[in-house]
Amino acid sequence: MQLRWYSYAMRIPEQSQPSLAISDDVACSIERSLMVLGERWSPLILRELHYGARRFADIRDRLGIASNLLSKRLKALVDAGVVMTAPYRDEGSRVRLEYRLTEPGVQALIVLGALQQWGDRYLPRQAGPSVVRTRRGTDEELQVGFVTEGGALVSLDEVQMRPTLA
């Protein structure tokens, strides 16, 4: 079994990763992504996982979400392969599951960062942003943007979204 290393020093067996299977009848990648990430609680759950929450009760308490809704959303994220489960046991307790990000879940940080950046700009709080995106080790503030394959930053007025024939 081949193992892959992902952010947060997590090893995930390659064969245990569910596929993000959505019918090819849904052609638009934005629509396909929203089918997995578009429900209101899903990005917030992913945010908490990126903050380091792993256990059901921690996620529930941080979000103030009802247990039945959290169970449903976590199951959907696990089924989609964005989140995986791993067993844990506190001393004297039964085995429970904790939740960890898979590669698609780690990559969703780009989407979360873009949503946050948009909200900070167009729906700002008087107190300012609740979170600042920074580079680990330097604390340099980060912006989400478009870059070429070679890493060059591209301004929004240079970006075009053009339909393909596929």
- pLDDT one-digit tens code per residue, 109-164: 999 999 999 999 999 999 999 999 999 999 999 999 999 999 999 999 999 999 88
Q: Is residue 162 part of a domain?
A: no
Chain centroid to CA 63: 15
- The pLDDT assigned to 20 comes to 63
Structurally, the chain folds into a number of domains equal to 1
8 A C-beta contact, residue 96 and residue 56: yes
Q: Is residue 151 part of a domain?
A: no
- The pLDDT assigned to 2 comes to 33
Give the domain range for residue 100: 3-133
Q: Is residue 91 part of a domain?
A: yes
Q: Is residue 107 part of a domain?
A: yes
- The pLDDT assigned to 55 comes to 97
- The CA distances from residue 128 to 69, 76, 82, 113, in Å, are 30, 33, 30, 16
Q: Is residue 12 part of a domain?
A: yes
| Torsion 26-27-28-29 (CA) sign | positive
* Closest to 33 measured CA to CA, from 117, 113, 146, 111: 111
Q: Is residue 71 part of a domain?
A: yes
Look up the CATH number of the domain holding residue 114.
Answer: 1.10.10.10
pTM score, whole prediction: 0.83
Q: Is residue 146 part of a domain?
A: no
Taking the chain, what is the end-to-end CA distance rounded to the nearest angstrom? Answer: 34
Q: In this structure, what token pair is assigned to residue 77?
A: 């994220």
The Cα–Cα gap between 102 and 82 comes to 5
The pLDDT tens digits of the residues spanning 2-37 come to 333 344 434 444 444 455 667 778 778 899 999 999
The Cα–Cα gap between 10 and 64 comes to 27
- The pLDDT assigned to 27 comes to 76
Q: Is residue 145 part of a domain?
A: no
The pLDDT tens digits of the residues spanning 72-118 come to 999 999 999 999 999 999 999 999 999 999 999 999 999 999 999 99
8 A C-beta contact, residue 37 and residue 23: no
The Cα–Cα gap between 102 and 16 comes to 10
Cα 112–113–116 angle (5° rounding)? 85
